[in-house]
Amino acid sequence: MDTVERVRLTPVRTCLGCRQRAPRTSLLRFAARDGRVVADAATRLPGRGAWVHPHLGCIETALHRRAFGRALREPGIDTSLVPTTAEDLARCGSQD
Ligand SMILES: [Zn+2]
């Protein structure tokens, strides 16, 4: 029963890249700050969040679809700070 409760209470989000639903804890949050998309590994930034698997494939797909702008309700938002290399990605994930 404990396990069932935990599963039910775990917030689920949809990855912007592969469109699969996953627990928040397995996704990387992005938020809009000063007109740019920034990684928010600590999930502390206010406002809407965009959730993507911390995988380059999912991030690239999301960028290609301009999914960040849609998810954050800021079409044309600057995505230059979104990690596109394994090194960038490792840096984003290390803020826990
Ligand atoms: Zn994904």
What CATH number is given to the structural domain containing 83?
A: 3.30.1230.10
Instruction: Calculate how far, in angstroms, residue 89's C-alpha sits from the geometric centre of ligand 1.
Output: 14
pLDDT for 5 equals: 61
pLDDT at 18 over 90: yes
10-29 average pLDDT score = 96
Number of structural domains the chain divides into:
1
43-53 average pLDDT score = 95
41-55 average pLDDT score = 95
Instruction: Calculate how far, in angstroms, residue 46's C-alpha sits from the geometric centre of ligand 1.
Output: 23
pLDDT for 88 equals: 93
pLDDT for 93 equals: 73
% of the chain surpassing 70 pLDDT: 89
Which residues in the chain belong to E strands, given as ranges? Answer: 12-14, 21-23, 28-33, 36-39, 49-52
Segments forming the whole domain that contains residue 28: 2-93
* Tokens describing residue 38: 């920034």
**DSSP letter at 29?**
E
CA distances to 1, 15, 36 from 25, rounded to whole Å, are 21, 12, 23
Instruction: Calculate how far, in angstroms, residue 56's C-alpha sits from the geometric centre of ligand 1.
Output: 9
**What integer best gives the mean pLDDT of the chain?**
91
Instruction: Calculate how far, in angstroms, residue 24's C-alpha sits from the geometric centre of ligand 1.
Output: 12
Rounded Cα gap, residues 39 and 3, in angstroms: 30
pLDDT at 7 over 90: no
